[in-house]
Chains A and B, each alone.
Chain A
Amino acid sequence: MQPNERPAIESTTDHFQYVLALADDALVLGHRLSEWSSRAPTLEEDIALSNIGLDLVGQARSLYAYAGHIEGIGRDEDALAFGRDAHQYLNMQLVERLNGDFAATMARQLFYATFAELFWTAMKRSKDVELSGIAAKAEKECAYHVRHSAEWVIRLGDGTDESHARMQREIDEAWMFTGELFAMDQVDRAMCNVGIGVDRSALKSDWDKAIDAVLTEATLVRPRDGWMISGGRRGTHTEHLGPMLAVMQSLPRTYPGAKW
């Protein structure tokens, strides 16, 4: 992809880090979902999770290619995805959480997809034509992801005593990871100031409304906002990201430049 024009900005580094972090979010969650392939509860669900993962990996590819272009030292999408260690990954910690049981995967998915749809919708107005182009595609894909996860959270929450208890437990467990969705760091603010980035904090009220509607229909209780995890954007991660990257990166690291 060769973008024709790029907005004039002061810091290429901020721009690069901004796009790279978005790519990392999409790739890490996409890879996590791919771990369900051949293991999902039903064939239809296996296909659904693989498709959603594929959408996210596709978004990640576009974002990595663009990040590499901004950086301008010749790193392509593969170099960025396979050539960095966990502490160099900038994804939010929510997306690296283990798949756990189906309820855990759906809680993580509902929280992220609901955010992502709002985020990409706002990003369509970015002055950065490359990002707004990626956003226009991602927004439409995320709309399907929201509906898919919302249906499952409702079905499990408003299901049997067992499914209700497990869905509630996973909503509670994942809640402290949702603060990062709306946290604005220095890179976010810099990109927002030049009309490239999205004000994530402004998305919170719409996200709250959408999540509340699903939780209510699912007969689940919204957890109270307490202490929130942070640090993913600075390269601080849970112990689960490293092993995931080790699996994902093993082949290109063992056989650099391998083709098949």
Chain B
Amino acid sequence: MNQSFKQILIASLFALVVIISPASYAQSLDFAQLTVDEDVTPEERLAKKIELTVDALEKAEERVVEMRAQLEALEFEDETPELQLRDNLVTRTNEYSTFYNEKLTALTLALTIEEVDLIIDEIITYRETIYAPGAKEIIEFNLVYSYTPSVLTLADQRMENILKDVARLEGLELIEPSTFVSRTDEAQAILQKAHDLQTQAATLLIENFVTPTATSTLAIEFTEVPLEPEITPRLLAEQSLAEIKSLYELFIETGEKVTETLGIN
């Protein structure tokens, strides 16, 4: 009995070592600083380079497809600058896809390490000079028109549910009326501010699109909190999201206060 227990223990430890070790080892590696073993043949190097580049290109294409899907999921009125801007950005994602697919084809024809390196250099340069500035605009557009509104909708629903719960608890005389007035008022004010910031971000984004050189008329409104010198749609969207974060902290505090008041904790 004792002997079999020992055997099971040893087997379990061995299994643990086998399972955990590769993962820990992989985590400890610096991803970008893998070195080539000296005994690797040029053919193996070529194959590995191609494999890694193909992997990067496929991921890049997936990323572009995801961006395009997010843009196309947004609905705007016909003949509005928002729709026009969105369509421009969609066209841009198509150009990225074309480039990545061309490079994937080029890789299949590459026969030497030098040829592959040349392709890799082209991809890196393209991503730095063409893709990054364009992707920045796409991400900003999605941030303003997709992510922030979806988070705001969720916060709106939560606010509504909290207000309903507080009203019900007051109705049931489980909490004193007006105990939570200051908290709910503060929460509503934060939520409103988040909405305003998102609206301003959208306004500025379109303003910049219609008249790219125009300076923002919103600048005056933000002299109270000069977080950064330049006010951009992204900054406004980020501020809106930061408000939502603080709103949720307040929501959690309110929830805790309710349970404390009811004496159920």
Do they bind each other?
no
B residues whose Cβ falls under 8 Å from a Cβ of A: none
**Chain A interface (Cβ < 8 Å from any Cβ of B):** none
